[in-house]
C-alpha cells in the first residue's frame, strides 16, 4: 500500500514546534536541493509542497503525517542561499538546532545532497552536527536525472568517505528514480 502524506501543521517560531509522540524524520538540505520537489514525488502529488524557482521559499517547519504508517516527515527550511536577512537566517538556524537537539521522537536526519555538486561546507557541517548529537543520518542524493552514472558513483563514494561508510541513496523527483527505495529507507528509519 502506497503511503499518503498529509500536511498537518506548520511552525514558524520555536514556541510553535509541536511535540508529537510519533516518530519523526527531519528532511534537511540546501535551499536549492529540491526538497519540495522530493516531498511532492514521495506524495505522488504536484503541489503538496510549494515548489518555487526562487530557492529558500520554505521558511517554516512543515509536519507531514505519513499514513497508514503513523510517523512524520518534518520538512525543515533550506539553508545556504536564500533571499532574506542575516538576522532571519540566524533565527532559522537557532530554530532548526533546537528542533534537532530537543525532539525526543526524532529518528533520523534525512540529509538531501545535490548530486551535481561536490560536498558543500554547509552539508558537511550539518552531517557533522548530526553525528556529534548521535542523530542517525539518511543521506540522499537528489537531482540524479541531471547527472551521469559515473557522476552518481563519484558522488556516492565522496559522501561514503565523509560519512564513515554510509552510502547515500540516489533519487530524482523528476523521473521518480529511487523514490520507492527512499520510502523503504524512511519506513525503516521511522521504525527504529
pLDDT of residue 141: 97
Determine the Cα–Cα distance for residues 61 and 27; give it in Å rounded to an integer.
10
Q: Which residues contact 168 (CB under 8 A, 6 or more apart)?
A: 113, 139, 140, 141, 155, 156, 159, 160
pLDDT value at residue 31: 84
pLDDT at 175: 94
CA neighbor of 30 nearest in space, from 140, 112, 152: 112
For the chain, which domains are there? 4-191 (3.40.50.300)
In the prediction, which pLDDT does 92 show?
Answer: 66
Kindly report, residue by residue over 82-102, the tens digit of the pLDDT: 556 667 666 667 778 888 998
The answer, as to whether pTM is greater than 0.95, is no
Positions of the chain with pLDDT under 50: none
Amino acid at each position: 500500500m502506497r503511503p499518503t502524506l498529509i500536511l498537518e501543521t506548520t511552525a514558524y517560531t520555536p514556541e510553535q514546534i509541536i511535540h508529537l509522540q510519533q516518530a519523526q524524520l527531519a528532511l534537511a538540505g540546501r535551499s536549492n536541493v529540491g526538497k519540495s520537489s522530493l516531498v511532492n514525488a514521495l506524495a505522488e502529488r504536484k503541489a503538496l509542497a510549494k515548489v518555487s524557482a526562487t530557492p529558500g521559499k520554505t521558511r517554516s517547519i512543515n509536519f507531514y503525517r505519513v499514513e497508514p504508517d503513523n510517523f512524520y516527515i518534518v520538512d525543515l527550511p533550506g539553508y545556504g542561499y536564500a533571499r532574506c536577512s542575516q538576522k532571519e537566517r540566524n533565527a532559522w538556524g537557532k530554530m532548526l538546532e533546537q528542533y534537532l537537539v530537543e525532539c525526543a521522537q526524532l529518528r533520523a536526519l534525512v540529509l538531501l545532497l545535490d548530486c551535481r555538486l561536490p560536498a558543500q561546507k554547509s552539508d558537511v557541517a550539518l552531517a557533522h552536527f548530526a553525528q556529534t548529537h548521535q542523530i542517525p543520518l539518511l543521506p540522499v542524493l537528489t537531482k540524479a536525472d541531471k547527472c551521469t552514472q559515473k557522476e552518481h558513483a563519484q558522488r556516492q563514494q565522496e559522501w561514503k568517505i565523509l560519512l564513515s561508510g554510509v552510502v547515500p541513496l540516489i533519487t530524482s523527483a523528476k523521473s521518480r528514480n529511487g523514490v520507492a527505495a527512499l520510502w523503504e529507507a524512511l519506513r525503516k528509519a521511522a521504525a527504529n
